[in-house]
Amino acid sequence: MKYKMNLAELKMFLLDKDNIDELLEKIDFIHPMDLLDIIHSENNQVIQTILNRLPDDYLAQLLDFEKDEAKYKLLKQFSIDKQKNILNEMSSDEITDLIDTLNNKEKNDVLSKLSNKHQLEINQLLAYIPDSAGSIMAYEFISIRANKTVLKTLEFLQTEAKDADMAYYLYVTDKVGHLKGVVSLRDIISSSFDTKISSITNTNIFSVHVDDDQEEVAMMFDKYDYVMLPVVDNEGIIVGIITVDDIIDIIKEETTEDIHLMAGLDSEEKVDGSLFNSIKSRLPWLSVNLITALIAASVVSYYSNTIQSIVALAAISPIITGMGGNAGNQSMTIVVRGIALNELTKENAWRIFFKELGVGIIIGLFIGTIVGVACMYFYQTPLLGLVAGVSIMANLIIATVSGFSVPIILKKCHVDPALASSIFVTTATDVLGFFIFLSLATLCLPYLI
Amino acid sequence: MKYKMNLAELKMFLLDKDNIDELLEKIDFIHPMDLLDIIHSENNQVIQTILNRLPDDYLAQLLDFEKDEAKYKLLKQFSIDKQKNILNEMSSDEITDLIDTLNNKEKNDVLSKLSNKHQLEINQLLAYIPDSAGSIMAYEFISIRANKTVLKTLEFLQTEAKDADMAYYLYVTDKVGHLKGVVSLRDIISSSFDTKISSITNTNIFSVHVDDDQEEVAMMFDKYDYVMLPVVDNEGIIVGIITVDDIIDIIKEETTEDIHLMAGLDSEEKVDGSLFNSIKSRLPWLSVNLITALIAASVVSYYSNTIQSIVALAAISPIITGMGGNAGNQSMTIVVRGIALNELTKENAWRIFFKELGVGIIIGLFIGTIVGVACMYFYQTPLLGLVAGVSIMANLIIATVSGFSVPIILKKCHVDPALASSIFVTTATDVLGFFIFLSLATLCLPYLI
Q: Which pLDDT value is given to residue B267?
A: 86
Q: Which residues contact A347 (CB under 8 A, 6 or more apart)?
A: none
pLDDT at B43: 67
Inter-chain CB proximity A334 and B255 less than 8 Å: no
CA B189 to chain centre: 36
Encode pLDDT of A120-150 as tens digits.
888 888 888 888 999 889 888 888 998 899 8
Closest CA–CA distance from residue B206 to any residue of chain A (Å): 5
Given a contact cutoff of 8 angstroms between Cβ atoms, the answer to whether B397 and B367 are in contact is no
DSSP assignment of A304-336 equals HHHHHH-THHHHHHHHHHHHHHHHHHHHHHHHH
* Spatial separation of the C-alpha atoms in residues B436 and B390, rounded to whole Å: 9
In B256-349, beta strands by DSSP E = none
Average pLDDT over chain A, rounded to an integer: 88
CB contacts, 8 Å: A355 with chain B: 273-275, 278
Edge-to-edge strands of the sheet including A169-173? A143-144, A169-173, A179-184
Would you place residue A2 in the very low, low, confident or very high pLDDT band (cuts 50, 70, 90)?
Answer: very low
Please list the pLDDT of chain B residue by residue as tens digits (449 residues).
344 456 667 777 776 766 677 777 777 778 888 888 888 877 677 778 788 888 888 899 888 888 888 889 889 989 899 999 999 888 888 888 888 888 889 999 999 999 888 888 888 888 888 889 998 898 888 889 988 998 888 888 877 756 555 567 889 999 889 999 999 887 888 788 899 999 888 888 889 999 999 988 998 888 888 888 999 999 999 999 998 888 888 888 888 998 999 888 988 888 888 999 999 999 999 999 999 999 999 999 999 999 999 999 999 999 999 999 999 999 999 999 999 888 898 888 999 999 999 999 999 999 999 999 999 999 988 999 999 999 999 999 999 999 999 999 999 998 888 887 888 898 899 999 999 999 999 999 998 87
How far from the centroid of its chain's Cα atoms is residue B4's Cα? 33
User: Which of A353, A355, A318 lies closest to A438 in space, CA to CA?
Assistant: A318
> How far is it, in rounded angstroms, from Cα A225 to Cα B65?
9
Give strand ranges (E) for A205-263: 206-209, 228-232, 238-243
Edge-to-edge strand ranges of the sheet holding B169-173? B143-144, B169-173, B179-184
Please name the residue of chain B whose CA is at the shortest distance from the CA of residue A201. Answer: B29
Contact in structure between A163 and B191 (CB atoms under 8 Å): no
Based on its alpha-carbon atoms, the radius of gyration of chain B, rounded to whole angstroms, reads 31
What is the maximum alpha-carbon separation in chain B?
A: 97
Residue A204 DSSP SS3:
coil
A349 touches chain B (CB under 8 A): no
Alpha carbon distance, N-terminus to C-terminus of chain B: 69
CA distances to A341, A417, A431 from A396, rounded to whole Å, are 26, 21, 13
CB atoms B185 and A192 under 8 Å = no
Which amino acid is located at A120 in the chain?
L
- B166/A contact by beta carbon, under 8 A: yes
Nearest to A442 by CA among A233, A302, A281: A302
Q: Does A126 touch chain B (CB under 8 A)?
A: no
Q: What is the DSSP track for A250-282?
A: HHHHHHHHHHHHHHT--TT--TTS-HHHHHHHH
Measured CA to CA in angstroms, residue A37 lies from A30, A40, B442 at distances of 12, 5, 56
- Pairing state of beta strands A238-243 and A228-232? antiparallel
User: CB A167 to CB B158 under 8 A?
Assistant: no
pLDDT, residue A5, reads 58
Range 285-304 of A in CB contact (< 8 A) with B: 285-287, 289-290, 292-294, 296-298, 300-301, 304
Q: b/e string for B15-31 if b means 16 or more Cβ within 10 A?
A: beeeeeeebeeebbebb
Q: Which of A405, A403, A425, A422 is nearest to A413 (CA)?
A: A405
**Distance (Å) from the C-alpha of residue A224 to the closest C-alpha of chain B?**
6
- The pLDDT value given to residue B3: 45
Q: How far apart are CA B213 and CA B217, in angstroms?
A: 6
Chain A nearest-CA residue for B360:
A279
DSSP-assigned letter for residue B267: T
Range among A67-76, A89-98, B115-124, B314-323 rated most confident: B314-323
Helix (H, G, I), strand (E, B) or coil at A173: strand
Q: What's the CA gap between A402 and A384, in Å, rounded?
A: 27
CB atoms within 10 A of CB B402: 26
Contact A132, A214 (CB under 8 A): yes
* pLDDT at residue A401 tops 90: yes
Q: Which of A339, A170, A144 is nearest to A241 (CA)?
A: A170
Q: Do B251 and A256 touch (CB under 8 A)?
A: no
- Residue environment code for B341-379, b if the CB has 16+ CB neighbours within 10 A, otherwise e: eebbeeeeeeebbebbebbbbbbbebbbeebbebbbebb
pLDDT tens track for A5-23: 566 677 777 767 666 777 7
Q: Alpha-carbon distance B431 to B441, whole Å?
A: 15
The residue among A59, A38, A37, A55 whose CA lies nearest residue A47 is: A38
Angle at B214 between CA B209 and CA B215, to 5 degrees: 125
Most confident of A67-81, A217-231, A388-402: A388-402
A346 C-beta neighbours (distance < 10 Å), count: 6
Q: Are A326 and B264 in contact (CB under 8 A)?
A: yes
B315, A298 Cβ separation under 8 angstroms: yes
**Cβ-defined contact of A312 to B329 (cutoff 8 Å):** no
Judged by CB atoms closer than 8 Å, whether chains meet at A326 and B220 is answered as no
CB contact B264 to A (< 8 Å): yes
Domains and CATH numbers, chain B: 7-131 (1.25.60.10), 143-244 (3.10.580.10), 275-448 (1.10.357.20)
Single out the residue of B65, B50, B60 nearest to residue B10, CA to CA: B50
Q: Could you tell me if B247 and B217 are in contact, meaning their C-beta atoms sit under 8 angstroms apart? A: yes
Instruction: Give pLDDT, residue A1.
Output: 37
b/e A318-331 (16+ beta carbons within 10 angstroms → b):
bbbbbbbbbbbbbb
Query: Contacts of residue A315 in chain B, CB cutoff 8 Å?
Result: 297-298, 300-301, 304
pLDDT digits (tens, 9 = 90+) for A229-263: 999 999 999 999 998 888 888 888 888 998 999 88
Q: In what order do the strands lie in the sheet with B238-243?
A: A2-3, B206-209, B228-232, B238-243
Q: What is the interface pTM, i.e. ipTM, of the complex?
A: 0.82
What is the spatial distance between Cα B387 and Cα B441, in angstroms, rounded to a whole number? Answer: 7
Residue A145 contacts B, CB cutoff 8 Å: no
Q: In a 3-state reduction of DSSP, which class is residue A242?
A: strand
